[in-house]
Amino acid sequence: MENKIKNTLLVFSGKGGVGKSTIAVNLAITLAKKGLKIGLLDADIHGPNLALMLGVQDKIIFPDGESQILPVEINRNLSLVSIAYFIPSLDTPIIWRGPAKMKIIERFVKEVTWGKLDWLIIDSPPGTGDEPLSVAQLLPKAGAIIVTTPQDVSLLDSKKAINFAKKLNLKIYGLIENMSSLECPHCGKIINLFKSDSVAKIAKQYEIPFLGSIPIDPEIVISGDSGKPLAMNNNFKTTEIFLLIANKILNKK
């Protein structure tokens, strides 16, 4: 089957642990719910966890005879390919050498039989190093969203990530603030844990769109750990936020 990928979206950050995988998987689900064909590529060599988040870590993909890699179907509109399928055990750290890393990412992008996709969403490894660079180079028309948390250290790294995306001429769909606030489970009051408008200010300063803020939501962790990410359930407030962000991305296409 021939690949026809209309849009690509790299989800990246300057730093690990800011919620990149969480946002990649929930945005993918949100876009798939809108009837779009979505491919999700877990290219985080150092911590692939999308298969786990989607509860398909035991589905091994076999090449289809012509060294093609077939995605795992999550539902009618969503399919996944993960580096996790190529490593023997998720708790074994792998020491990748530069060329081996490049090779595996190249295979991911070129040899996967995605078929027709409206969007290919790529969860890239953290930082502005080799791997996001190689992914971006293989996808010259790639778009990007940058994820940050509101703490100063993450903000500093996100500025680097924005500059990096600009340097690579990626189309920047915008900046997402994750873990912005917390709703008190007792009284419902919103607690802003850090400066509440710092991420929006950075977006303004760098002249890129601000896509929205995702609160700290314990449901994200519970649902992510159970293999059914939050956005699969329409009853959560945070699901609505993912929908607003997805709509902003579609409007910028």
Ligand X SMILES: Nc1ncnc2c1ncn2[C@@H]1O[C@H](COP(=O)(O)OP(=O)(O)O)[C@@H](O)[C@H]1O
138 phi and psi, to 5 degrees?
-75, -15
| By CB under 6 A, residue 216 contacts ligand X | yes
Residue 65 burial by Cβ neighbours in a 10 Å radius (0-12, 13-18, 19+): exposed
Considering the rule CB under 6 A, would residue 20 count as an interface residue with ligand X?
yes
Binding status of residue 221 toward ligand X by CB under 6 A: yes
Residues 43-62 that bind ligand X (CB under 6 A): 49
Q: How far is the CB of 19 from ligand X (least distance, A)?
A: 3
| C-alpha Rg value of the chain to the nearest Å | 17
Burial class from Cβ neighbours inside 10 Å (0-12, 13-18, 19+) for residue 150 reads buried
Helices (H), 47-189: 50-53, 98-111, 130-138, 152-167
Q: Measured from the CB of residue 113, what is the shortest distance to ligand X in angstroms? A: 26
Which pair of structure tokens corresponds to residue 100? 């081996």
Per the rule left: phi > 0, alpha: psi between -120 and 50, beta: everything else, 76 is alpha
Q: Does 224 bind ligand X (CB under 6 A)?
A: yes
Q: Residue 191 touches which of ligand X, Mg ion, none (CB < 5 to 8 A by kind)?
A: none
Nearer of residues 22 and 82 to ligand X, judged by Cβ: 22
Cβ of residue 211: shortest distance to ligand X, in angstroms? 14
DSSP strand pairing (72-75 vs 78-82):
antiparallel
Q: How far is the CB of 35 from ligand X (least distance, A)?
A: 25
Using rule CB under 5 A, residue 21 touches Mg ion: yes
**Interface region with ligand X, contact rule CB under 6 A, candidates 105-113, 189-197, 198-206, 209-217:** 209-217
Residue 205 Cβ, how far from Mg ion at the closest point, in Å? 26
Among Mg ion, ligand X, none, partner that 216 touches (CB below 5 to 8 angstroms by kind): ligand X
Applying CB under 6 A, among 142, 155, 220, 243 the residue interacting with ligand X is 220
Q: Which of Mg ion, ligand X, none binds 18 (CB below 5-8 Å, type-dependent)?
A: ligand X
The secondary structure element, H or E, covering residue 143 is strand 143-148
Is the sign of the CA dihedral 210, 11, 38, 89 positive or negative? negative
Q: Is 19 in the site for ligand X (CB under 6 A)?
A: yes
13 binds, among ligand X, Mg ion, none (CB under 5 to 8 A by kind): ligand X
- Give, as one character, the DSSP assignment of residue 151: S
Q: What's the closest the beta carbon of residue 38 comes to ligand X, in angstroms?
A: 18
